[in-house]
Amino acid sequence: MCGIVGGVSKRNVLPILLEGLKRLEYRGYDSAGVAFRNNKKVSLVKTQGRVADLESQLDGSLKSLQGIAHTRWATHGVPSTKNAHPQDSGNSIFVVHNGIIENHENLRKKLTKEGFKFKSDTDTEVISHLVNLYKTKGYDFDSAVMRTIAELKGAYALGIIDLDNPDLVIGAREHSPLVVGEGIEENFIASDVMALSQVTNKFKFLQDGQIALIGSDKIQIMSKNGTAKKIPTQEIDSNSFTNDLAGYSHFMEKEIFEQPKALQDALQGRVTSEGTQEGIFGAGFEDQVKDVTNIQIVACGTSFHAGRIFEFWSHKFLGVNCRVDYGSEYQYQEPIKTDKTLLVTISQSGETADTLSSLKFAKKTGKPVTLTICNVANSSMCRESDFSLLTNAGPEIGVASTKAFVTQLACLNLLLLTMMQLKKQPKKAIQNISSSLLQLPKKINKTFDMLKVYKDVAKLLFNKNSALFLGRGMYFPIAREGALKLKEISYIHAEAYPAGELKHGPLALIDKDMPVLALVPDNEHLDKIQSNIQEVAARKGRVITIGPLGKTKIGKNGGHIKIPKTLDLHNPIISVVPMQLISYYTALLKGTDVDKPRNLAKSVTVE
């Protein structure tokens, strides 16, 4: 989704801004732009395309001490040069914006009456004109920004510069992340720490409603009403923010192969073969959750599928009611009020707008204990929650989530074990699950022995228009995750169904051109799912099965992939890896942009 980087320095900031934009590319975008001080004026360069196109339009000898830059993921107005940011007003006020201004139509009317002419279809342009309006009325730049912000409804992270203020960038945030990066004789703003990790490891994380005035020698933070605010500077290990492919062709490929190590990092120091360590979710967590009677999970996309698997674990091993809602839907359901609810938000980024607003909504409408399982320390969700557990997957750059998912499941398993311990469940059961969990990195590594098999399956899929994924019980969310991976990166329509629902509709779709991927567990569902597979085969459907039994064999009409066997509750985690790789190799055959699939964004910061 959109990305912001801006700064003022005593040295040339243009290469820093461009590098920042490159580091933000992984979020997904369709156009890019930069506004920078160029002697006595501010120059604006924008492109509907990649950051590399933007760079090629800039004269390499240009030097600038102040600028703001942006990658845009279209919301209001099609992807185009005119709609790309920065948006300017009268060549004097320049604005980059992440988020959506909900009252932009009213503001547009008001500004049109004031004589402003709109050049774009964006909601953002009202911001540059409003600041300009207040400046022409005699307000200083910072006061004009504050008056503007008072009129905005919606979500925003902003970076603003003014022709009359060469040593100032103003940043502001409301429901969309923005950080301040501290340097020596230079300071920056960005929507993501990663954008600035090449220049600093010192960050201030702005809170909603805060404004930052950034000069090369100053950082001043204020609330919306102008009260000075102090926020601590945090040192972040910038080495962990690498965007190096390390010899792989794509980040998604690299991240799939990083999964054993990511899992180890997620488990390290948190669990032994006897169970989980106390305090891993934060001091006092055990005390707060020991008597919860209800677990509510909220998440989006891949993270939602992780939540759906925990739902099965919770019912089976804890006997605690667990419900999972999409972040975008949670607020429309009347939340079930129970005495003691644990609200778990699951998110790779910790910034997904729908999940974040659900968390805020839940806190406003009830008194849940809140826990975030997240890959990004200091993210909005971590800060908004009572407790958090980092997945420790390392930065995930590929838009299609892979290692974040398996580490989310590992962390949810730690939650399960912790709650089993609190409920004084038999030691043996806790030891079994803990030992099996610790074996997972090794078992996932084994799935990499069959790359040729996944490539053969990809050959069966890449020229098809649709595919069906089947699973039962806790394998159904995995089927959904498999279908999501395939559609995200190969653009093949893929649907997942609980296998028992096959005969209630999808069976009508089955023919030789509709490949079916079925998850076949070694549990009480085995016979039933085999019957479902027969139903497909009898209609000339091509079936590829994945499971811990049988032998691996793929022919031109389908076949079977044997995965390493483990405890039934952990098999879903292993079975997702072949599906990730099958999707990846299918996308390669189709020649799609694997890491930046069309229309998608890594971090969705608008509702």
Any idea which residues carry the catalytic annotation?
2, 602
> CA nearest 355: which of 158, 605, 600?
605
Q: Applying CB under 6 A, which part among 40-48, 298-306, 317-325, 543-551 lies near ligand G6P?
A: 298-306
Minimum Å gap between C-beta 231 and ligand G6P is 24
Nearer to ligand G6P, 120 or 259 (CB): 259
List Cβ<8 Å contacts ≥24 apart for 257-260.
257/448, 258/393, 258/394, 258/403, 259/402, 259/403, 259/406, 259/441, 259/444, 259/577, 260/441, 260/442, 260/444, 260/445
Tell how strand 321-326 and strand 294-299 pair up.
parallel
**Binder of ligand G6P out of 399, 433, 519, 520 (CB under 6 A):** 399
> CA nearest 68: which of 46, 42, 86?
86
Minimum Å gap between C-beta 409 and ligand G6P is 13
Minimum Å gap between C-beta 28 and ligand G6P is 7
- Taking CB under 6 A as the criterion, which residues in 332-351 touch ligand G6P? 347-349
Minimum Å gap between C-beta 214 and ligand G6P is 27
Two tokens at 297? 């999970």
Minimum Å gap between C-beta 562 and ligand G6P is 28
Give the integer Cα–Cα distance in Å for 370 and 191.
25
Two tokens at 327? 């972040």
Nearer to ligand G6P, 348 or 580 (CB): 348
> What's the one-letter identity of residue 185?
E
Closest residue (Cβ) to ligand G6P?
301
Q: Applying CB under 6 A, which part among 398-406, 464-472, 520-528, 562-570 lies near ligand G6P?
A: 398-406
Q: What mask, x for binding ligand G6P by CB under 6 A, covers residues 585 to 604?
A: ---------------x-xxx
DSSP annotation string for 297-354: EEE-HHHHHHHHHHHHHIIIII--EEEEEETTTGGGS-PPP-SSEEEEEEESSS--HH
Q: How many residues in total does the chain contain?
A: 607
Site size toward ligand G6P (CB under 6 A) is 16
> CA nearest 327: which of 348, 318, 315, 69?
348
Instruction: Spell out the residues 6+ positions from residue 378 whose beta carbon is closer than 8 angstroms to its own.
Output: 193, 203, 205, 234, 236
Give the integer Cα–Cα distance in Å for 589 and 146.
52
Nearer to ligand G6P, 344 or 514 (CB): 344
**Binder of ligand G6P out of 64, 120, 380, 401 (CB under 6 A):** 401
> CA nearest 252: which of 479, 408, 405, 427?
405
Whole-angstrom Cα Rg for the chain: 25
Nearer to ligand G6P, 400 or 409 (CB): 400
Nearer to ligand G6P, 197 or 379 (CB): 379
Asked whether position 31 contacts ligand G6P by CB under 6 A, the answer is no
Minimum Å gap between C-beta 168 and ligand G6P is 33
Minimum Å gap between C-beta 347 and ligand G6P is 3
Give the integer Cα–Cα distance in Å for 128 and 118.
10
Cβ atoms of 554 and 585 closer than 8 Å: no
Give the integer Cα–Cα distance in Å for 562 and 315.
28
Q: Applying CB under 6 A, which part among 159-167, 270-278, 397-405, 426-434 lies near ligand G6P?
A: 397-405
**Binder of ligand G6P out of 276, 294, 341, 355 (CB under 6 A):** 355
CB atoms within 10 A of CB 222: 17
Give the integer Cα–Cα distance in Å for 96 and 72.
9
Nearer to ligand G6P, 146 or 300 (CB): 300
Give the integer Cα–Cα distance in Å for 216 and 145.
19
Q: What mask, x for binding ligand G6P by CB under 6 A, covers residues 301 to 320?
A: xxx-----------------
**Which residues lie near ligand G6P (CB under 6 A)?**
300-303, 347-349, 352, 355, 399-401, 600, 602-604
